[in-house]
Structure 1
Amino acid sequence: MNHFGIFLRGMLMGAADIVPGVSGGTMAFITGIYDTLLTSIRSVDLDCLRLLLKFDIRGAWDHVNGSFLLALLAGIATSILSLARLISWLLENHPVPLWAFFFGLILASALVLLRQVQGWSIARTLCLVAGLGIAATIALSPTVNMHFGMAGIFLSGFLAICAMILPGISGSFILVLLGMYGTVLSALKSLDLGFILVFAMGAAIGLLTFSRLLHFLLHRFHEATMALLTGFLFGSLLVVWPWKHVLVWIEGSHGQLKPAQQVPVMPLEFTVLTGESSQLVLCLSLMVVGFALVWLIDARWGGKQENPAEQ
């Protein structure tokens, strides 16, 4: 696989992670680099540290598959920095059509992951139902307030990155649940270096910690883990449903009112409750576009998982 191909996959991951729709892990999975990604992350270990202490930079670089990680991270960063302003503006000015697009993305991703689970059993079905139930419960619960200084920023980065590498759970979806999505977007848009540094530190520690647990679960209990993640993804459709009714409002950091708890409603009920147009035709069209994008990506790269043992 050439570096440009890895860079493009990184751009897909970055684009997925900045919207609460598809996880970067899902993009890595359906474009065939998921095992390589986990193996490379896990290679940042004591052996890597020993090589660095010996000033064997080349050895450490090869140990962590540095060329792969550099090209991938460059693609991710390119997408995140270029899309932050656009997504922030769309969320503020056209939230309903944007959530409709996200809904199409996440629905297609859930179906893609559902096809990856082989040999359904009662236990795996229960894992699917459990994941769906957990996500639905979280989606309908009040938003958690993580705005308590640097510790909240660090913990948000830690949790979001754990979700990012899961095939099925979006890191930005976790930020929505934590009430930090808009805050992180604003920090990226304004290049708030202090905020970004603390968030990145939390993300780095979370990535090195959680990748090892995930690698163990996917290799020891692969089908059950995938079923659980797929259920979580189906349940998270409640979060990205475009037509919502706000039950509880909270005051944001700048005095503005922000929704703290929302429930999904039908388009007609949305119009009655809010007095706003449901934009039904536009939203349905964007759902189809989002669905088709993921389906086309899966058709292009799906089913080409690399085996790390062969690398």
Structure 2
Amino acid sequence: MFINYVKGLLIGSANIIPGVSGGTLALMLGIYHKIVYSSANLIRLKKVKEDTIFLTMLSLGILTSVTILAKIFKSYILDGSTRETYLNMLFIGLTTGIIFKLKQEIKTRNNNNNNSKKITKYFLFLIGFFTTLSLLLLRTYNISLDISEYQNKKSIKYHIVIATSGIIGGCAMILPGISGSLILLSIGTYKEIINIISQLNIIPCTIFGISTIIGTGITILIIEKTINKHFAKFLYLSIGLILGSILQMLFTITKLNVKPTLTLKISSGILFITGIYINRILESTKK
């Protein structure tokens, strides 16, 4: 039971960092499918007790992580320094390891060599890749919502923006390779969301939390049906999304303008390899 809380802590930390996907980390931890099916069962009121315990412990971990780490990340890590570079390199290593795992899963599951189906799968891979790439373009050209227009934090418009951000972020955070925080950064509400969480503003936090749950719930039901009927295609789409997320993290590093010293290069390389190695260790513990 406690291990699910710890996994929630890890997923929550991933959801705070722009470019890092909580869904990808759930895949790495081996609980992605359980999250999808348990959430879908709970929505349909099936196996309520068993799934409620699992999701409650996981959610408490995520909530604890987001609440505590939002302040730490805001003031100490996500400050354009070498610390942010190191953190991104570690997650790039972790994410790269996931791609190898998914490719292996495709090989073991894909027994049909029909060319038309292969074309469909590669097409889905490209859709996934260019979806995350489009977020990168939005970030590059600073195309985002100007949240400063909604300075009155008691206005209906402000709360609608927060609710919309929650729904969009919730839809994104369960998809492998899609970073909910990067989505919020792209639409211009990331800093505001981090502020209301770190300051524990009750009303905006509640609105954001409920809308995030709604967005996540809708996406989970769609993913569940997709996995049941088109699992191999879902894997190809996921690989495209995850590969695109690696480019996003690399882009984040280049934008930090940190001096590329020898120490930075060696440390980054070590953290990248460490990320891949951690992934392999976690994978071996599931066998």
Q: CA RMSD in A?
A: 2.8
Distance 1:61 1:28, change over 3 A: same
Distance 1:174 1:284, change over 3 A: farther
Which of 240, 244, 248 is residue 255 of structure 2 equivalent to?
Answer: 244
Whole-Å separation in 1 of the counterparts to 2:144 and 2:225: 29
In the TM superposition, what is the alpha-carbon distance from 1:137 to its structure 2 partner? Answer: 2.6
Structure 2: where are the runs of 5+ without partners?
111-117, 151-157
Which of 50, 75, 80 is residue 89 of structure 1 equivalent to?
Answer: 75
Distance 1:221 1:285, change over 3 A: farther
CA deviations 1:89-148 (Å, max 9, x no partner) are: 136643464145324413541441343131483332332223222322331223321635
Counterpart contact for 1:30–1:297, Cα < 8 Å: no
Counterpart contact for 1:105–1:293, Cα < 8 Å: no
1:254 aligned partner:
none
CA deviations 1:246-287 (Å, max 9, x no partner) are: xxxxxxxxxxxxxxxxxxxxxxxx5xxxxxx52444543454
Counterpart contact for 1:162–1:210, Cα < 8 Å: yes
Q: Which amino acid aligns with 1:170?
A: S
Q: Which amino acid aligns with 2:38?
A: S
TM-score in terms of structure 2 length: 0.79
Whole-Å separation in 1 of the counterparts to 2:285 and 2:145: 40
Counterparts of 1:107-186 in structure 2, within 5 Å, are 108-117=94-103, 118-119=106-107, 121-141=118-138, 142-145=142-145, 147=147, 149-186=158-195
Counting strand residues as a fraction of each chain, which structure ranks higher? 1
Counterparts of 1:288-303 in structure 2, within 5 Å, are 288=269, 290-302=271-283
Counterparts of 1:1-40 in structure 2, within 5 Å, are 3-40=1-38
Q: Which amino acid aligns with 1:81?
A: T
- Greater relative contact order (Cα < 8 A, sep 6+): 2
Distance 1:138 1:94, change over 3 A: closer
Q: Which amino acid aligns with 1:113?
A: I
CA deviations 1:11-65 (Å, max 9, x no partner) are: 11111111124322222222222222111211233546xxxxxxxxxxx741x62
Residues 96-105 or 176-185, more deviating: 96-105
Structure 1: where are the runs of 5+ without partners?
49-59, 246-269, 271-276, 307-311
Aligned residues: 262
Counterpart contact for 2:173–2:216, Cα < 8 Å: no
Counterpart contact for 2:97–2:280, Cα < 8 Å: no
Whole-Å separation in 1 of the counterparts to 2:39 and 2:82: 37
Whole-Å separation in 1 of the counterparts to 2:246 and 2:145: 21
TM-score in terms of structure 1 length: 0.74
